[in-house]
Structure 1
Amino acid sequence: MYLYSEIYSDIKKDILTNHYRAGKPLPTQKKLAETYHTSRLTIKKALKLLQDEGLIYSQQGSGSFVRARTTEDDKELLPLDAPIGATYSHRDQNISSKLLYFDARLPNETEQKNLAIKSNEPVYDIKRVRLINDRYYSLEHTIMPASIAPLDEDILKGSIYDYLGNRGIQLTDARRILYATEADTETADALDIKKGSPVLVIEQTAYDQKGHAFEYSVSRFIHDHSRFVLNIHRKLPDFLG
């Protein structure tokens, strides 16, 4: 993949997760070039892709700006190629957590495989209900190696990703499996829905910037409370023969 394509994807994630907000300017081309350690020409190519997709627009002499989304529904279209943590996807809304379970234990075989750890390496076992504007959003079951960072109940009331980010651990890659299922008793009770109601499940293994797996999670979403989108960009050859 060309560098400008990677920069395009990175800025796009920041736009879709509200790091760069609608109507606000992007950093200057000079600043972006410094951030990505590249030339302004490469940045221009990345911005051209974003502009062609309708995510940004330019103003003569003022730079590039994030375009407002066209409908209210777009606010609920959450990108699948970006972190799915509620804090990332709903930064401009009231986010709260209800901690259901928190303990440390030894991992089972599935957890050992996904986290690339041994059977004697302890993990954190975390179950939380996430709420957006006091509305049930998801049930998260997260497994993390205990060696990754010290956790406590106060930390789990907020964003785990923000906490890890402050310790130099960033989610850079993830493997996700999506499927639909019916809510079991635990899910129904946690999300205040009927047993057997349809839920969307996202099973994720998250990797940090060094390629180490630091999270294996299974998140369940109420079927009519969340909508996800995956934008596909096809890279055409620069020269057609």
Structure 2
Amino acid sequence: MNSYRYQDIYSKIKKSIETNHYRAGKLLPTQEQLANEFNVSRVTIKKALNCLEKENLIYTKQGSGTYVKPRLDKFPDNETLPLDYPVGVTYSHRDAKIQNQILKFDARMPSKKEKSALELNDSDPIYDIRRLRFVNDKVYSLEHTIIPTKIAPIDTKILEGSLYDYLGKRGLKITDAHRIIQALNATQEEAELLKIKKNTAILSINQVCYDQKARPFELSHSIFIGSQSKFGLDVHLN
């Protein structure tokens, strides 16, 4: 048998999770059931499951079994957004009316900080994007996004819709994100754009997103109005 059979099984189970065949928060089939399904040993299944666990897609409860990790549907009130899953406004508010106002869209060479965060060469240009996001006709967030131009061609029409949807259609999948979260007070400029008073409480999230090949492809800074923002995080300890 091919010694990399477990990688094929890992890919198939992962696809079943992503397509909701194996539902978030629910039990996976047992190792024995999976071994029978794929006609392999339990050792091979265990290797595949280990890969999924390293990607934070599944977790094991001793004496209970292996579960698909809850993600977007774990906060059913549609107001609490998950902090442990890298998604955009369009993903987190699927049933809402989403609009984008482009404040800035340019291409330039990256700064030293941007080169380091996105692992770029001196000759790699980036897109500099600033958008105001609206949910159901109300100001929701202010976003500043940096993306290498080599990732994909981007224009204003694309930015008026979902950037992540567009990148997904081009084969890029968001798998991980590193986030730094701060509670701050709005500056005068931020307050004017978000239609709030200066020094109003805001939530600031700085983020680097990674694709399925562990490559950083986005550096962003998002600002949310404190009184309108609620984020949640599930913690599982082995």
Task: Tell me the TM-score normalized by structure 2.
Answer: 0.72
CA distance, structure 1, for counterparts of residue 115 and residue 185 of structure 2 = 26
User: How far 1:186 moved relative to its partner?
Assistant: 2.3
Q: Secondary structure at the match of 1:162?
A: helix
Give the equivalent residue in structure 1 for 2:86: 83
Does 2:186 align with 1:186?
no
- Opposite residue 213 of structure 2, the aligned amino acid is K
Distance in 1 separating the partners of 2:147 and 2:74: 37
Q: Check if 1:92 corresponds to 2:99.
A: no
* Alignment partner, residue 6 of structure 2: none
**1:232 maps to 2:235:** yes
Instruction: Answer yes or no: is 1:214 the counterpart of 2:217.
Output: yes
User: Which residue identity does 1:229 align to in structure 2?
Assistant: G
- 5 Å-filtered alignment, 1:18-167, equals 69=76, 74-167=77-170
- Tell me the SS of whatever aligns to 2:177: strand
Runs of 4+ residues over 2 Å off in structure 1: 42-51, 66-69
Tell me whether 1:173 sits opposite 2:202 in the alignment: no
> How far is 1:50 from its partner?
5.1
Q: What is the CA–CA distance in structure 2 between the aligned matches of 1:107 and 1:141, rounded to whole Å? A: 14
Mapped to 1, the partners of 2:183 and 2:112 lie a distance apart of 24
Per-residue CA distance 1:163-200 (angstroms, 9 max, x = gap) = 00000011111111001111112211211111211110
Equivalent in the alignment of 1:3:
none
How far apart are residue 84 of structure 1 and its match? 3.4
Structure 1 residue matching 2:227: 3-state secondary structure:
coil
CA offsets, 1:94-117, max 9 Å, x none?
A: 111111110001111111111111
Quote how far apart the aligned CAs of 1:83 are.
Answer: 1.9
Query: For 1:31-66, what per-residue CA distance to the aligned partner results, in whole angstroms no more than 9, with x for missing partners?
Result: xx69xx986xx7996895659x9x7xxxxxxxxxx8
* Structural RMSD (CA): 3.9
Cα deviation for residue 120 of structure 1 reads 2.6
The alignment of Structure 1 onto Structure 2 pairs a total of residues equal to 203
Q: Give the structure-1-normalised TM-score.
A: 0.71
Contact 1:176 1:204 in 2 (8 A): yes
1: CA distance, partners of 2:188 / 2:126:
25
Q: Distance in 2 between matches of 1:147 and 1:68?
A: 35
The runs of 5 or more residues in structure 2 that have no matched partner are 1-9, 50-57
| Distance in 1, Cα, partners of 2:141 & 2:187 | 14
| Residues 131/67 of structure 1: CA separation in 2 closer, same or farther (3 Å cut) | closer
Residue 195 in 1 paired to residue 195 in 2? no
CA distance in 2, matches of 1:219, 1:201: 6
Please list every run of 5 or more consecutive structure 1 residues that lacks an aligned counterpart in the other structure: 1-5, 56-65, 236-241
Distance 1:44 1:180 in 2: 31
Counterparts of 1:106 and 1:67, CA distance in 2: 40
